[in-house]
Structure 1
């Protein structure tokens, strides 16, 4: 069985299946979504879905990778933006993504493996983009010297809190925009030569 983990074409019919899975998760959450319901919404047989994904965790992994990769692709190509601006834009986009918000609100345990046990494909993509940008910045003198991989990983770890917990820090004393400005300052100072 193959999945998006095996470099599936972006125009694959699987995108329609993932769209159906996304709709299910938004409507009823992870616990109540089944491969059978995904097949029904996609207008295909259950066996078509079962041949594509053996189980819901595999399907969810592909859905999250597609969703978060699209966000990163959109923010990593922002015209004229530096690394800090792109990272802040990515964090903002994740925080408001309806699938991400739904997962965090209804099924937060789905995020825990990516915080406590292992990196996901999207995290690896973000790390690769950040490492490349840090290496380029080191070459032109705009980023401090050091292990670019370790710097990128440190920045991503710092960003986790701004993605997952920023809403807990927003109130009358500090706005989301002020917290994003603090994030930009943290990232800028962490990268300063």
Structure 2
């Protein structure tokens, strides 16, 4: 059993657990990640992990949300208007496409990914919709985005962008990363223009 002093190191315990989960995904692949190994790498006991998440799948979902949120925060949202909004969405899509953890879950844990692709919105998707809806509302006031309910428009932007991210590998011989970004920007601009 891990001592309590090990559980009180510099980084918050939840962050250490998520970092350990990311390391496990990279080392073993999504399907072979275990709660015991996550706890070992985080330097905490299994009960410490269980107090925060009931199972490995929940940890992986929290890890994805943390990574998506970080990418979204890094993309910023200082400028107003359709051009800035589309650039931000395309930048977030590119970063997520380049994220080894996100892509590993998407391609190697299809049953987990399919829940968030076809059955229900996950926390990270809700965060993306909320952030995009806020930017759409400002762009509508700016006059550069068409009228319509901002959340509905944001949800459609999510569907368009999510499809581009999840299918990028399939169309890579036709649309490399740069070309995909250009075409995604065209699609979003066309959809949002007044």
TM-score, with length taken from structure 1: 0.87
Q: In structure 2, how many angstroms separate the alpha carbons of the residues matched to 1:22 and 1:78?
A: 30
Closer/same/farther in 2, CA of residues 106 and 128 from structure 1, 3 Å limit: same
Q: Which runs of 5+ in 1 are unaligned?
A: 1-10
> Does residue 113 of the first structure (1) align with residue 100 of the second (2)?
no
C-alpha distance after superposition, 1:59-88 (max 9, x if no partner): 122111111111111113477870000000
Q: Indicate conservation of the 8 Å contact 1:142/1:192, yes or no.
A: yes
- RMSD, aligned CA: 1.8
CA-to-aligned-CA distance 1:77-133 (integer Å, 9 cap, x gap): 477870000000010000010101222332232211001111111111110111111
**TM-score by structure 2 length?**
0.87
Separation of aligned partners in 2, 1:77 and 1:175: 26
Provide the residue aligned with 1:190 in structure 2: 191
Between structures 1 and 2, the one with greater helix share: 2
Task: Tell me by how many angstroms 1:57 deviates.
Answer: 1.9
- Per-residue deviation at 1:146? 1.2
Q: Which residue in the other structure is 1:19 paired with?
A: 19
Structure 2 unaligned segments of length 5 or more: list them: 1-10
Tell me which of 136, 139, 149 is aligned to 1:137. Answer: 139
Q: Aligned ranges for residues 6-45 of structure 1 at < 5 Å?
A: 12-45=12-45
Residue-pair matches, total? 182
143-152 or 86-95: bigger deviation: 143-152
1:53 is matched with 53
